[in-house]
Amino acid sequence: MRHECLSGLLRSRMPGYSLPAALYAGAEAFEADLDAIFLRSWLNVAVVADVPEPGDVYAVDIGRSPVVIVRDDEGGIRAFHNVCSHRGARLVPEGRSIVGKLVCPYHQWTYELTGDLIDAPHMGLDFDKALHDLQPVNVREIGGLIYVCLSNDPPEDIEALAALMGQRLAPYNLAHTKVAAEQEIVEHGNWKLTVENNRECYHCASNHPELALSFHASDFGFDPAALAPEEKREAEALATLYAERTAAWEACGLPSEAVESDVLMPTNYRTQRLIIAGAGESQTPNARAAVKVPLGPMVANGAGDVHLWGINAWAHFMGDHAVVFNLFPLGPDRTLVRTKWLVHEDAEEGVDYDVANLTAVWTETNRQDADLVALAHQGVRSAGYRPGPYSRFTERTLNDWTTWYVARMMASGYA
């Protein structure tokens, strides 16, 4: 696909409609996505619990670019391209490890956790090691979430997200959490279909019976004319309850109002404190707390669910645990979704929580979502596909997301 063709596809997207098929399924569009979105945006790729102690490292692959996140000897968080400065060998495998130094397995070039090259055997006395340190990657820790940006000119609007979420996440004390469980699932669909599926709950009632016990599908919109009288009364009661709860939470120092970024800004996000349905405590099979040790005293009881959407991530923060989801594109038709359940570092498995209970709702929901994304991808590859209209009631956020995507692609030179 020539650049002009990609530009034409982006320009052809009609407001209120999904994207042309080639922008979901095409290999050229995928390469452009890696360049325009994943190499230039702030991405949430880890949590502080991935690197709790000095010497902890956590490696992730962003497209074809491996990145290593390091907790240095002074306790700071750093990020580097996970590539030796010698001949480009990968330094550490994906996932977590503990090191004293970063040592390339190929020729044993050795780096401090600051990225400084300290040993390069057989390179001669005149070899200037200072010219061959690891290449740093921009990194920000926001309320316990670790963001990186591979660009040398990272978007400055990360400061708005940092100010917003630093305050909202502070009561959850994520610096004192641990990863209680982690799961990976490869969805057989384009990463944008994974995002779209996550950003609406139009599909929740008919596809997510486990999640529906603790989640109000109407939180993300409904058509009033489609409601039966009883459903309408329930919707009105929920709206009243939201007004009351939000005011009460805010009065207690828990920011709760919905906030979302402008669709034309580089760093895309939305957050709101949601009411948990049913017993109202947590996203578990009975909507009761799964963990006896709360994440923090301010959110121990009745603090709802702070949800956060980002470019490649979404999360739920509840009083007893948090769930953080990160997506990583593997190809035009494959997307890795990595899910982490965070609990207080003092909570003891088998005593304070049961992993099966903790993970039950989202394990099932992830599996169901993967099936839906696969169905959607099969559809966009069909000769019968044509961009379809988003519901203005239940899919307004998809229109915003797709508008943002097109704007970022065009701002990155694909106009």
Per-residue pLDDT of the chain (415 residues), as tens digits, is: 566 689 999 999 999 999 999 999 999 999 999 999 999 999 999 999 999 999 999 999 999 999 999 999 999 999 999 999 999 999 999 999 999 999 999 999 999 999 999 999 999 999 999 999 999 999 999 999 999 999 999 999 999 999 999 999 999 999 999 999 999 999 999 999 999 999 999 999 899 999 999 988 788 888 889 888 998 899 899 999 999 999 999 999 999 999 999 999 999 999 999 999 999 999 999 999 999 999 999 999 999 999 999 999 999 999 999 999 999 999 999 999 999 999 999 999 999 999 999 999 999 999 999 999 999 999 999 999 999 999 999 999 999 999 999 999 999 999 8
What residue has token string 């495998």?
93
Q: Write down the pLDDT at residue 221.
A: 84
Q: Write down the pLDDT at residue 415.
A: 85
Q: Write down the pLDDT at residue 4.
A: 67
Phi-psi domain of 49 (left: phi exceeds 0; alpha: psi -120 through 50; beta: other)? alpha
From 310, 31, 366, select the one nearest 195 (Cα to Cα).
310
Question: Which residues neighbour 114 within 8 Å (Cβ) at sequence distance 6 or greater?
Answer: 72, 78
Residue 353 burial by Cβ neighbours in a 10 Å radius (0-12, 13-18, 19+) = buried
The Cα–Cα gap between 238 and 101 comes to 54
The Cα–Cα gap between 332 and 57 comes to 29
From 143, 147, 150, 167, select the one nearest 158 (Cα to Cα).
147
> What are the beta bridge partners of residue 78?
70
Residue 251 burial by Cβ neighbours in a 10 Å radius (0-12, 13-18, 19+) = exposed
Q: Write down the pLDDT at residue 216.
A: 86
Q: If DSSP states are collapsed to H, E and C, what string results for the chain?
A: CCHHHHHHHHHHCCCCECCCHHHHHCHHHHHHHHHHHHCCCCEEEEEHHHCCCCCEEEEEEECCEEEEEEECCCCCEEEEECECCCCCCECCCCEEEECCCEECCCCCCEECCCCCEEECCCCCCCCCHHHHCCCECEEEEECCEEEEECCCCCCCCHHHHHHHHHHHHHHHCHHHEEEEEEEEEEECCCHHHHHHHHCCCCCHHHHCHHHHCCCCHHHHCCCHHHCCHHHHHHHHHHHHHHHHHHHHHHHCCCCCCCEECCCCCCCCCEEEEECCCCCCCCCCCCCCCCECCCCCHHHCCCCCEEEEECCCEEEEECCCCEEEEEEEEEECCEEEEEEEEEEECCCCECCCECHHHHHHHHHHHHHHHHHHHHHHHHHHCCCCCCCCECCCCCCHHHHHHHHHHHHHHHHHHHC
Decide: 91 and 82 in contact? Cβ < 8 Å: yes
Q: Write down the pLDDT at residue 159.
A: 98
Q: Write down the pLDDT at residue 231.
A: 87
